[in-house]
Structure 1
Amino acid sequence: MRVISGLWRWRRNPLRRTTDLAEAWVALVALVLMAVTAPVTGWLVGAAAQHSLQRSVREQQRTRHLVTATVVRDLGKVPVKTEPDTSTARDSHRRVLADWTAPDGSHRHGPTLAALKSPHRGDHFRLWTDPQGRVTTRPLDSPTATTHAVLAGTGAALLATGLVEAARRLTVWRMVRRRYARWDQAWDRAGPDWGKAGTGS
């Protein structure tokens, strides 16, 4: 609203300079671009991210399987530093040597993380694997994918707004620099006669 009222104020003001009106128009164009491009950019990026992430969700849920593993030996407590947003990583505190059967029927044996506070030989725990029985992470779920897509769209909209505002500021800065340069030229022309009686008459 301030931009529109500024344009109206400068419309027939005798003190209006060309640059004043140009700055007001630049601000109005930037405001319109922010109102249009930011939501459109956010929606397009969010929709693309949602499509891609939901495809990943379907693929992961199709190829990752929850199997039951049996503890062979406790290998000790390990700090969890990878993928803190997955419940598997949050809950897994012990490294164990375990046996499990892969979805393809093959027998697997190896070290893995177990969601057990004090594992003993023969304890059972659940484990995510790929079709060949290799240990993998929990599959991405649909609500989490949607949340990531919304965040991507919001970030894209904010970035578009920031780029438009940066372009507006750069344009206004160049216009002000040009105005100051013209003022300097005018002062240079008036400078030799400044303060002398009778000049300009």
Structure 2
Amino acid sequence: MTIGRARVVRRACRRVGLDRNPLRRREDRWQTAIGALLALCVVVSVPLVVLGVGVPIHAAQTRALHAEYARLHRVDATVTEVGKTPLYAPVTPVTVSWTGADGLPRTATYHSAIVVKVGATLPIWLDGADRVTEPPSATRPVGRAVLVSAAVLCAVLIGCAGSYLAARLALNRRRSVLWESEWERAGLTWGAHGAS
């Protein structure tokens, strides 16, 4: 270890209270221990939240996605008319036609996320009544699992940070009381040595 790194390590240890400074009070050591314990809680909570919250939510959302896929069906429709793309939305309204399950031709308005021309083929999703619907989102299970896990982890982090600040405030009050009592004791004996 180089001298520069050793200084950085010593300085970091001193800042978090892990040095052997004889002027550190018991309250200072308690604050360091509480901070280390709460930091450990945050680190341990990450895999616990992922396994306890994220994995079940992902599994439930995946089941819901498969049920949605089973309820809907995909067909290839032909674009018969292209509308004007509005400036405020990145979709193009188009009229599409396809042959229904009963063999009859169907037409509907569809909002395409890509630019298409008349005669192009678009995959569309239909519900049980042959109505055009939005396709199931394949990223929804991961997105929901990450979102809920992140919310739970933020709650854990806020709880641990709040606990640390509350403990620090209580320990600061205790240090202030000790500081005042030590000054009072010092004032009683101040200058007593040397007077004859």
Q: TM-score, normalised by structure 2?
A: 0.66
Q: CA deviation at 1:149?
A: 5.7
Residues 104, 32 of structure 1: alpha-carbon distance in 2 compared, 3 angstrom cutoff: farther
Tell me the distance in 1 between the aligned counterparts of 2:40 and 2:53.
20
Q: CA deviation at 1:185?
A: 6.5
User: What SS does the aligned partner of 1:29 have?
Assistant: helix
Give the structure 2 partner of residue 175 of structure 1: 171
Instruction: State the match for 1:98 in structure 2.
Output: 96
Superposition deviation, residue 99 in structure 1: 3.0
Percent of matched pairs sharing the same residue: 22
Tell me the distance in 1 between the aligned counterparts of 2:114 and 2:33: 65
- 1:66 Cα deviation after fit: 1.4
**Cα distance in 1 for residues equivalent to 2:100 and 2:108:** 12
State the shift of 1:58 in Å.
0.7
1:74 aligns with 2:82: yes
In structure 1, stretches of 5+ residues that fail to align are 82-89
CA 1:156–1:124 in 2, change beyond 3 Å: closer, same or farther?
closer
2:48 corresponds in structure 1 to 40
Encode CA deviations 1:166-196: one digit per residue, 9 max, x unaligned. Answer: 4223311332134225535765x579x69x9
Aligned position for 2:117: 119
1:63 aligns with 2:58: no
AA in 2 matched with 1:155: A
Aligned residues: 180
Deviations 1:79-109 (A, max 9, x none): 574xxxxxxxx7xx42123333455767543
C-alpha distance in structure 2 between counterparts of 1:174 and 1:21, whole Å: 14
Q: CA deviation at 1:37?
A: 2.5
Residue of structure 1 equivalent to 2:9: none
Q: Is contact 2:17–2:28 with CA below 8 Å preserved after alignment?
A: no
Pairwise CA RMSD of aligned residues?
4.0
Secondary structure at the counterpart of residue 117 of structure 1 = coil
Unmatched runs of 5 consecutive residues or more in structure 2: 1-11
Alignment-derived partner of residue 164 in structure 1: 160
> Given the superposition, is the C-alpha separation of residues 71 and 34 from structure 1 closer, same or farther in structure 2, using an over 3 Å criterion?
closer
Match of 2:137 in 1: 140
TM normalised by structure 1 equals: 0.65
C-alpha separation between the residues in 2 aligned to 1:137 and 1:73? 20
Aligned with 2:31 (options 23, 34, 39): 23
Q: How far does residue 62 in structure 1 lie from its aligned partner after superposition?
A: 0.9
Q: Which shows bigger deviation, 110-119 or 171-180?
A: 110-119
Please say if residues 67 and 129 of structure 1, whose CA atoms lie closer than 8 Å, have aligned partners that are also in contact.
yes
Structure 1 pair 38/125, CA: closer, same or farther in 2 (3 Å)? closer
Q: Could you tell me how far apart the structure 2 residues matched to 1:145 and 1:117 are?
A: 25
1: CA distance, partners of 2:130 / 2:38: 55
- State the partner residue of 2:150: 155
Q: Hey, what does 2:7 align to over in structure 1?
A: none
C-alpha change, 1:176 and 1:109, in structure 2 (3 Å) is same
| Corresponding residue for residue 84 of structure 1 | none
Secondary structure at 2:135's aligned position in 1?
coil
> Match of 1:87?
none
